[in-house]
Structure formats: structure tokens, C-alpha cells
Structure 1
């Protein structure tokens, strides 16, 4: 066991930026409005399980189905792109299938928002650089932060109000769009080279 505080801190910050739970608050609030309720514990646990499993099995799973990490990231970029368009333009691209709070807690919240292609691709690159146990601790720290944000999102909604949430949604929509473009451009080059 090679616990390294600097590695844990760096991996935590990188994952925090990619997961962008603060930027996802408007999406969480709109999911809560659509589904009526979000199971914070379930969403957090599923996201943690998906991330930790992917940390160990990710490359093998992708290789097994004949998908490269870059192709996976490009697909993730498209999902983020469409979610960003919804946020910026105030339109609905993903048809609400009347999903229950159980389903909303799993899809799209736990996957692909929290444990999405961006964070899963990041996990693979962190694993290449850092000790696995440090990356796992970084994942767990992020899951605790996610849980706290999910639990307090209703309170945040009342503090920010409709206009505040609208502004944040549009601003973070643009940020999410930028992340999608970055994910796309940095991985599309790898596909053609």
C-alpha cells in the first residue's frame, strides 16, 4: 500500500473538476422536478461502484467489445454535448419517459452524469499515473461530496431561486459544452492517427 497524500489530492481535484457536481446542480434540480424525488444514497453508491469497477475492468471491457478508450470518450462527448444544449437553449432533447425516482437516480444521474464517459476516461488515465489505492480514495472523497450536494440540492434550490438556477444552468451549460468539445477534440485526433 503506497498511500501518497499528494497523489490523492491531485486525483481528487482532477475527478472533482471532471464530475463537476457543482455545475450539475441545475441538472439535479430539474431531474428532481421531473421525477419528484432523487435517491441520493442510491445514486452515490451506484456511481461509486461503476467508477471503481471501471478503474479495474475498464480497459478490458472496452477491449472485449472492440472499443478504444478514445472512441468511448468521443461517444461521451456527444452525450455531454446534448445535455449542454438542453441547458443552454432550455429545450428537451431527451424524451422524459416518465421514469420513476428509482430510474432517475440511476439514469441519467449515476450514469452518465456522475460516472460518465468523462470521469471513466479520466479514471483510466489516473490509473496509468497513480497508485490504484490513491485513485480509489480520490473516488470515495468525490462520492462523499456528491452525496452531500445531492442531499442539499433542494435547499440550494430555495436559496438560489428560479432566476438564480436559470442563470447557473445557462452558464454551466456553456462550461459543459466546452468540456464536451475538449473531450471530443482531444480524442478524435487519437482516432485518426
Structure 2
């Protein structure tokens, strides 16, 4: 076992910034109003399972289509860059599709809001730099935090207000931007 507190913390912060559960509180509240009820436990567990499964089979899927992890990590760095720009500038580059009749707990909350393209790409990008057990622990910590946020989303919104949510998003956007640059520079050298 290669447990490393620094790796766990870094992976946790990256995933926390990409998932942006605090910034998604307004969306979660809106989903609660539309769906009537969201099962916080179910949404958290499903999102966690999707992320951990993708962590293990994602690389096999890449090999199947002939893409190496470093190329995927560079592509992931670009996705993180765009997500960071959305968070910092308050713009929308990625438009989520709407109009599904599925339960809001699974879609769009667990997938793709929590375990979406950004978090799945991030997992494989992190795998190129960190030990798998540290990433899994970071996912589990994020899932616990997601559960807490889902359970208390209305209270959190009242407590920190819209300005607090906006400030949090901007701070994590800058952190995510720095991580995207690091991910790009550490993997591009393998492709050149």
C-alpha cells in the first residue's frame, strides 16, 4: 500500500474543485423543487461507484481505442482548464442536456452533475500521477462530503448566501486552473 497524505489531499482537492458540489447547490435546490425529493444517499453512492469503476476500467477502454494515459491526461488538462474558466469567469462553455424523465437522484444529479465528464477525465488524469489507493480514498472522502452537502444544501445556501457560493467557486476555479497547468506540463513531455 502506498498511502500518501499529500497525494490523497491533492486528489481530493482536484476532484472537489471539478465536482464543484458547493457551486452546484443552486442546481441541487432547483432539482429538489422539480423532483420533490432527492435521495442523498443513493445519489452519493451511485456517483462514487461510477467514479471508482471508471478509475479501473477507464484505462482499458483507452487502450481498446488506442489512446495512452498521457494523451488522455493532456486532454483532461484542457477539460479542467475549461471548467476552471467557467468557474472563474462565470460563463457556461458546457451546456447540459435537459428533458429526461429519469429520477433526478440518478440523472442528472449522480450522473452527469457529480460523476460527469470532468470528474471522470480527472480520475484518469490523476491516475497517471498518483497511486490508485490514494485516488480511491480521495473519491470516498468526496462522496462523504457530497452526501453531507446534498443533505444540508438548503441550510448551506442560507448560511453562506449566493455571494459565498460565488466566492467559493472562484477560489476553487483558480486552484483548478493551476492544477490543469501542472497536469498539462507534467504529461506533455511524454508526448513530445
Query: Could you state the TM-score of these two structures normalised by the residue count of structure 2?
Result: 0.74
Structure 1 equivalent of residue 28 of structure 2: 32
CA shift, 1:55, in A, is 3.9
Q: For 1:63 and 1:135, locate their aligned partners in 2 and report how far apart those are by CA, in whole Å.
A: 21
Using the TM superposition, give the Cα deviation of residue 74 of structure 1 relative to its aligned residue in structure 2, in angstroms. Answer: 1.8
Gaps of 5+ in 2: none
Whole-Å separation in 2 of the counterparts to 1:53 and 1:60: 11
Counting only pairs closer than 5 Å after superposition, residues 1-193 of structure 1 correspond to structure 2 as 7=3, 9=5, 12-20=8-16, 24-32=20-28, 35-36=31-32, 40-99=40-99, 101=104, 102-105=106-109, 106-113=111-118, 115-123=119-127, 125-127=129-131, 136=136, 139-192=139-192
What runs of 5+ residues in structure 1 fail to find an aligned partner?
Answer: none
Instruction: Name the CA shift for 1:49/1:98 in 2 (closer, same or farther; >3 Å).
Output: same
Normalization by structure 1: what TM-score? 0.74
TM-aligned CA deviation for residue 124 of structure 1: 5.3
SS class of match (1:53): helix
- The Cα shift of 1:93 comes to 1.8
Cα contact 2:70–2:188 (8 A) shared by 1: yes
